[in-house]
């Protein structure tokens, strides 16, 4: 069964450093989502792509966060500079937009900022 892939699975970084996460959605899934999940809370949408275009980035802290999906397939989420409050799980999800709304999540990247 196809799954969403993410790397790295764990990342420890010092504050003020740059960090990047990678996501490869299920093949053929046009819609890709990046979420941040703080321990004990529900996922919070950061950015949504439809193919290579950003559909929604209203919750993305644009002063330090950036996301791209240049060829409409895999995606990278970057934080620069990282802050202590960025420690969280970063989840990527994908869906077959237009043929159902079901999202499939990747395993996530656990970020710890020290």
Partner 1 sequence: GENVEQHPSTLSVQEGDSAVIKCTYSDSASNYFPWYKQELGKRPQLIIDIRSNVGEKKDQRIAVTLNKTAKHFSLHITETQPEDSAVYFCAASITGNQFYFGTGTSLTVIP
The residues of the shown chain that bind partner 1, judged by CB under 8 A, are: 31, 33, 40-45, 48, 55-56, 58, 91, 95, 97, 100-108
* Residue 46 CB, nearest approach to partner 1 (Å): 11
- 52-to-11, 31, 94, 109 alpha-carbon distances in Å: 26, 9, 13, 22
Nearest residue (CB) to partner 1, 41 versus 114: 41
CB-nearer residue toward partner 1: 81 or 104: 104
Q: How far is the CB of 24 from partner 1 (least distance, A)?
A: 14
CB 86 → partner 1: shortest distance, Å? 19
Q: Which lies closer to partner 1 via its Cβ, residue 63 or residue 102?
A: 102
Q: Which is nearer to partner 1, 19 or 92 (CB)?
A: 92
């Amino acid at each position: 069964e196809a799954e969403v892939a993410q790397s790295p699975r764990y990342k420890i970084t010092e504050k003020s450093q740059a960090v990047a996460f990678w996501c490869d959605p299920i093949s053929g899934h046009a819609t890709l989502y990046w979420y941040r999940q703080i321990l004990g809370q529900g996922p919070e949408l950061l950015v949504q792509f439809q193919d290579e275009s950003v559909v929604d980035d209203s919750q993305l802290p644009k002063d330090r966060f950036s996301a791209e999906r240049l060829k409409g397939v895999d995606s990278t989420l970057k934080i620069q500079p990282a802050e202590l409050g960025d420690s969280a799980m970063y989840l990527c999800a994908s869906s077959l937009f237009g043929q159902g709304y079901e999202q499939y999540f990747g395993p996530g990247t656990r970020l710890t900022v020290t």
